[in-house]
Every structure is written in structure tokens, then in C-alpha cells.
């Protein structure tokens, strides 16, 4: 952390000998790997602590990798998954006085998010298990998943597009007891997985909101609303009403 260039003259997994690359600087460190109890650690055997005044400092370091950044800033990224790359670079500069590139900061944030939330492709593939479980536990429910198949070898499984969900108890309750008025609402999703949330709401006898159905789509447009209302009309037996 002294921002000096260091050369590893020996590093064979058991021994580490590093020296300063500055001219006329006699700084060095010698460490060995020693097993202690049930753990293995490097122990400093000999060291010259002080750098010479002629040894210049640098603003970049080869050991400052994206993996190290993930370990150091995991909590910050977990608290704010959409933390800007400029903030990560500024934190490194303020805490260690070192410069880190945009791509290295991006790899660090991407790796941290993958460790926190898992791979996005694997998460979306589990939606089919979610659909089966909802249909098993909530009778008369409608759950529809739309996706695209890709021939790209780097893409594992289908690409998620939209999800429609109308739970049987909510649907039957609205049809039996509530007013024949439906409100349609849409909003952006601001979590890890972006998209548009579309919701059909009813009013219960106490003038409270009653959710009827909802969907997650890639955007809000005429095609997405038409797709959502087509499934909603099938569930509520209002085909003629929604086709006008």
C-alpha cells in the first residue's frame, strides 16, 4: 500500500522474495509459507521496512486486480447493486491513492453482482419451476412465460421475455364479490433485473385495492399491453369487452 513498484524475485508457492524496483532502494521482504494448526499462512522472515527517499511512488499497481476489488468493495456493491463505475474508481483513489481503469472496475462490479445474485440466465431458467409450483399450490391459476430460443452457443437455454400471472384465489374472489371495474397500472422495475411491471387492480367492498393479475415485460408498448389484456380477458371471461 506504499504505492511503490515491487519486483517478485522469487515466488514458488512456498517462498516469496520481493524487492523494490526503485534506484538505490534497499527495501525487500522475505516470507515463507508455514503450516500452523489447521491453516497455512505466509510468515515474514526478514524485511527492510523503509523505502529510500529517491524511490518514487506510482498511481497504478499490477496487483490491484478485479478479484481484489470484489473482496474489498463487496459490501458497497451489495448495498447499491447499481453503483456507478465512477464511484468505485473514486473509492479506490480516496482509500489507496491508486488509479483503476473503467474496464477493471466494470469486471469487479459484474463479478460481485454475480456472486450476490447469481447468473441472470440461471435465475430466469428457474421461472419454469416457479410456474409449476404456483399452479400446484394455487388451483385455477394462470401463469404464462414467453421466451425466445437462440442458437448462440454462449446462451444457455431460452431468453426470457415476459411473465403473466393470475392466481386462482384472487381471480375467483374478484369475480364473485367485487365491483366490475379494473384499473391498469404500469411502472418500471428498478432492482437487479430490469423490466416493466404491469398490474390489473380491482376494488373490494371496503374500497381497498385488490390485485387481479400482473405481468413482467421487457417494455411498455401497445404489443405488451395487448398481450397482457388478452390473457386477462381469458381469465375473467370478458373477451367481448376487451376486444372492443
- Final residue before a domain boundary, out of 26, 41, 58: 58
For 8-42, the pLDDT digits (tens) are 666 777 788 777 776 667 777 888 887 766 677 77
Residue 207, sorted as left (phi over 0), alpha (psi -120 to 50) or beta, turns out to be left
**Range name among 2-11, 22-31, 186-195, 212-221 with the lowest pLDDT average:** 2-11
Task: Give the whole-angstrom CA distance, residue 172 versus residue 78.
Answer: 40
pLDDT(84) > 70: yes
| Residues 52, 26: Cα–Cα separation, whole Å | 7
Quick one: 131 and 146 in the same domain?
yes
What pLDDT is recorded for position 18?
79
Q: What pairs with residue 217 in β-bridges?
A: 196
Q: What is the pLDDT of residue 155?
A: 53
Q: Are residues 88 and 35 in the same domain?
A: no
pLDDT for position 240:
39
Distance (Å, rounded) from C-alpha 131 to C-alpha 144?
8
Q: Are residues 48 and 144 in the same domain?
A: no
Residue 83: predicted pLDDT: 85
Lowest mean pLDDT among 36-50, 83-97, 201-215: 36-50
**Residue range(s) defining the domain that contains residue 140:** 122-242
Which residue from 145, 141, 199, 196 is spatially nearest to 166, judged by alpha carbons? 141
| Confidence (pLDDT) at 239 | 39
Among 82, 103, 118, residue at a domain's last position: 118
CA-to-CA dists, residue 150 to 23, 146, 233, angstroms = 57, 13, 31
**Whether the predicted pLDDT of 243 surpasses 80:** no
Q: Say how many domains are in the chain.
A: 3
Using the 3D structure, point to which of 27, 58, 89 is the last residue of a domain.
Answer: 58
| Cα separation, 28 vs 41, whole angstroms | 19
> Confidence band (pLDDT; 50, 70, 90) for 200?
very high
pLDDT score at 164: 95
Residue 81, pLDDT > 70, answer: yes
Amino acid at each position: 500500500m506504499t504505492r511503490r513498484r515491487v519486483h517478485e524475485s522469487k515466488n514458488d508457492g512456498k517462498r516469496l522474495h520481493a524487492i523494490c524496483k526503485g534506484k538505490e532502494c534497499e527495501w525487500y521482504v522475505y516470507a515463507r509459507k508455514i503450516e500452523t494448526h489447521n491453516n497455512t499462512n505466509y510468515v515474514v522472515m526478514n524485511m527492510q521496512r523503509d523505502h529510500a527517499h529517491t524511490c518514487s511512488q506510482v498511481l497504478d499497481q499490477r496487483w490491484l486486480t478485479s478479484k481484489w476489488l470484489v473482496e474489498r468493495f463487496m459490501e458497497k456493491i451489495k448495498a447499491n447493486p447499481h453503483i456507478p463505475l465512477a464511484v468505485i474508481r473514486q473509492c479506490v483513489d480516496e482509500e489507496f491513492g491508486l488509479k483503476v481503469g473503467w474496464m477493471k472496475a466494470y469486471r469487479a462490479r459484474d463479478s460481485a453482482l454475480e456472486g450476490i445474485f447469481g447468473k441472470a440466465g440461471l435465475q430466469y431458467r428457474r421461472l419454469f419451476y416457479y410456474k409449476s409450483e404456483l399452479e400446484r399450490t394455487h388451483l385455477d391459476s394462470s401463469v404464462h412465460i414467453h421466451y425466445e430460443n437462440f442458437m448462440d452457443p454462449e446462451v444457455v437455454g431460452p431468453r426470457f421475455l415476459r411473465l403473466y400471472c393470475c392466481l386462482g384465489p384472487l381471480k375467483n374472489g374478484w369475480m364473485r364479490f367485487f365491483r366490475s371495474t379494473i384499473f391498469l397500472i404500469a411502472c418500471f422495475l428498478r432492482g437487479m433485473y430490469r423490466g416493466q411491471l404491469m398490474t390489473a387492480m380491482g376494488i373490494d367492498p371496503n374500497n381497498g385495492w385488490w390485485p387481479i393479475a400482473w405481468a413482467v415485460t421487457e417494455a411498455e408498448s401497445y404489443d405488451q399491453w395487448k398481450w397482457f389484456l388478452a390473457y386477462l380477458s381469458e381469465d375473467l371471461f370478458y373477451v367481448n369487452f376487451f376486444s372492443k
